[in-house]
Chains A and B, each alone.
Chain A
Amino acid sequence: KAGVTQTPRYLIKTRGQQVTLSCSPISGHRSVSWYQQTPGQGLQFLFEYFSETQRNKGNFPGRFSGRQFSNSRSEMNVSTLELGDSALYLCASSLLGGNQPQHFGDGTRLSIL
Chain B
Amino acid sequence: QKEVEQNSGPLSVPEGAIASLNCTYSDRGSQSFFWYRQYSGKSPELIMSIYSNGDKEDGRFTAQLNKASQYVSLLIRDSQPSDSATYLCAVNVVSNFGNEKLTFGTGTRLTIIP
A binds B: yes
Residues of A that sit less than 8 Å from B by CB: 33, 35, 42-43, 45, 48, 55-57, 88, 90, 97-107
Is the pair B104, A43 in contact by a Cβ cutoff of 8 Å? yes
Is the pair B32, A55 in contact by a Cβ cutoff of 8 Å? no
In the complex, B43 has a CB within 8 A of chain A = yes
Is the pair A33, B97 in contact by a Cβ cutoff of 8 Å? no
A90 in contact with B44 given A42-B107, A99-B92, A100-B32 (CB within 8 Å): yes
Q: Considering only CB atoms and an 8 Å cut-off, how many residues of chain B contact the other chain?
A: 24
27 residue pairs of the A-B complex, CB under 8 angstroms, read: A33-B101, A43-B44, A43-B88, A45-B102, A45-B103, A45-B104, A48-B101, A55-B99, A56-B95, A56-B97, A57-B97, A90-B44, A97-B101, A98-B92, A99-B31, A99-B32, A99-B92, A99-B102, A100-B32, A101-B34, A101-B46, A101-B49, A102-B90, A102-B102, A104-B36, A104-B43, A107-B43
In Å, the complex CA distance between A42 and B36 comes to: 13
Is the pair B43, A98 in contact by a Cβ cutoff of 8 Å? no
In the complex, B22 has a CB within 8 A of chain A = no
Is the pair B43, A42 in contact by a Cβ cutoff of 8 Å? no
